[in-house]
């Protein structure tokens, strides 16, 4: 797997019949902050899938567009759409150069997709991507047993990541789906 991408934190938390994906809003270029309120979480498949991205915005948007096409081709089959995107991402010369990671989820499943062609379903009910992923993931796993609301877990975990990671800010967008 490639080294963690600098520039954001994306966190997914699945609990009590809901899935929440949170993303911070910071966009950086080198050591400079270009924007603090970017939207890095998107709703796909007519509201049936949510996705968050870390890495190059243009690259991630290109991948989300491809994922939308896969979801249209394989409706209500998130796993299959993700595997097909992963195969394309790994084998296509153009896609192979894209620098991004995606976390995608529907009411039943959550997947982490990487540029190495990996499509991973998290072992636990939380997943994270981006430069602050380790901090947000550790916080979410620690809070998971003590908080019932997945949105609260995500918010508090993202706040912890923003306090530690230089590339993550406190401007957090959350999108959820009932499971």
Q: Is 57 a catalytic residue?
A: no
Residues 64 and 102 sit within 8 Å (Cβ to Cβ): yes
Tell me the CA distances in angstroms from 157 to 65, 103, 125, one per residue in order. Answer: 28, 16, 14
Q: Which is catalytic among the residues 8, 9, 28, 110? A: 8
Chain mean position to CA 43? 12
* Residue ranges in the chain assigned as alpha helix (H): 57-73, 78-91, 93-96, 133-144, 150-164
**In whole angstroms, what is the distance from residue 57 CA to residue 95 CA?**
14
Classify residue 30 by burial, with Cβ atoms within 10 Å: 0-12, 13-18, 19+. Answer: exposed
Active site residues: 8
């Amino acid at each position: 797997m490639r080294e963690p991408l600098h520039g954001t934190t994306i966190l997914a938390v699945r609990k009590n019949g809901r899935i929440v994906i949170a993303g911070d809003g910071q966009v950086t270029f080198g050591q400079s902050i270009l924007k603090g309120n970017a939207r890095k979480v998107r709703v796909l498949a007519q509201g049936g899938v949510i996705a968050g991205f870390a890495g190059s915005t243009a690259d991630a948007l290109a991948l989300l567009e491809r994922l939308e096409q896969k979801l249209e081709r394989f409706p209500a089959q998130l796993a299959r759409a993700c595997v097909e995107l992963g195969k394309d991402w790994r084998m296509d010369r153009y896609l192979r150069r894209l620098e991004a990671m995606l976390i995608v989820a529907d009411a039943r499943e959550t997947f982490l997709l990487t540029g190495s062609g990996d499509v991973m379903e998290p072992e636990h009910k939380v997943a994270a991507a981006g430069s602050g992923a380790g901090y947000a993931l550790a916080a979410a796993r620690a809070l998971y047993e003590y908080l019932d609301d997945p949105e609260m877990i995500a918010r508090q975990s993202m706040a912890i990541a923003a306090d530690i990671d230089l590339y993550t800010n406190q401007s957090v967008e959350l999108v959820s789906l009932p499971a």
